[in-house]
Structure 1
């Protein structure tokens, strides 16, 4: 029997904490993703897959969106992000990474990039 890799109970409190303390970039992007606003796709925020909590997740597309702030410039964090992304991709997920500043400086371009990664119209 395959164990469920999504939203494991032990990460519930951490996911809630992250949702309640979203960065301004996350909050801004969420306004454009919530309620199936982007081409009818349903996104979840602070969704966990295995032991990782991802910023945004679209199940129908198996698409993960990560927003990176300045902390992700640290070499050790970059290594962790790389290994994490490799693991998620090995599970069949597509991971898109954007910098927080992209949300404020190029939101339309960012949203278009997400849409370009959708399989087909639903």
Structure 2
């Protein structure tokens, strides 16, 4: 059994660390520029998860994986959180190829819209909890009465 990372709503959440992820050092400059851009939805989400305030889970912001920069990454789960703004409207094919590549590395991708982060943050955080429970949680075995 994998080590327990945290507990969400009484459900143990197990670590799923994915080792040896590819890294393109040529993206470092672009990474710095993206961090400076401070997109509102990303800033709002970051303020909600930074410093392990979301169930004691450590999030990385703007992480290089392979030839891509992901919005947020949880190393201990192998989970990517992507906040899709209007720039993604015409990029469904690109996003699909990108997501397929990331999943081929053993990672999962949780996509949320920038609009929802800015306008329905409580709902977004609840959906993220449910996603984590579904993919990384184990329900405690029922006690026989």
TM range (shorter): 0.7 to 0.9
By how many angstroms is 1:33 displaced?
Answer: 1.1
* Structural RMSD (CA): 1.8
1:48 pairs with 2:64? yes
What TM-score does the superposition give when structure 2 sets the normalisation length?
Answer: 0.75
Q: Distance in 2 between matches of 1:8 and 1:79?
A: 22
How many residues of Structure 1 are paired with residues of Structure 2 in the alignment?
117
Q: 2:78 aligns with which of 51, 62, 65?
A: 62
SS in 1 for 2:49: helix
Residue 86 in structure 1 maps to residue 81 in structure 2: no
Per-residue deviation at 1:9?
A: 2.2
Query: For residue 30 of structure 1, what is the aligned residue in structure 2?
Result: 46
Deviations along 1:9-51, whole A, 9 cap, x unmatched? 2211111110111211111110011100111110011101110
Structure 2: stretches of 5+ with no match in the other structure: 1-19, 139-145
TM-aligned CA deviation for residue 6 of structure 1? 5.0
Q: Give the match for residue 113 of structure 1.
A: 127
- Which one has the bigger helix percentage? 1
Q: Which has the larger radius of gyration?
A: 2
In structure 2, C-alpha distance between the alignment counterparts of 1:40 and 1:120, rounded to whole Å: 15
The answer to whether the Cα contact below 8 Å between 2:73 and 2:79 also exists between their aligned partners in 1 is yes
In structure 1, stretches of 5+ residues that fail to align are none
Deviation at 1:8, TM superposition (A): 3.4
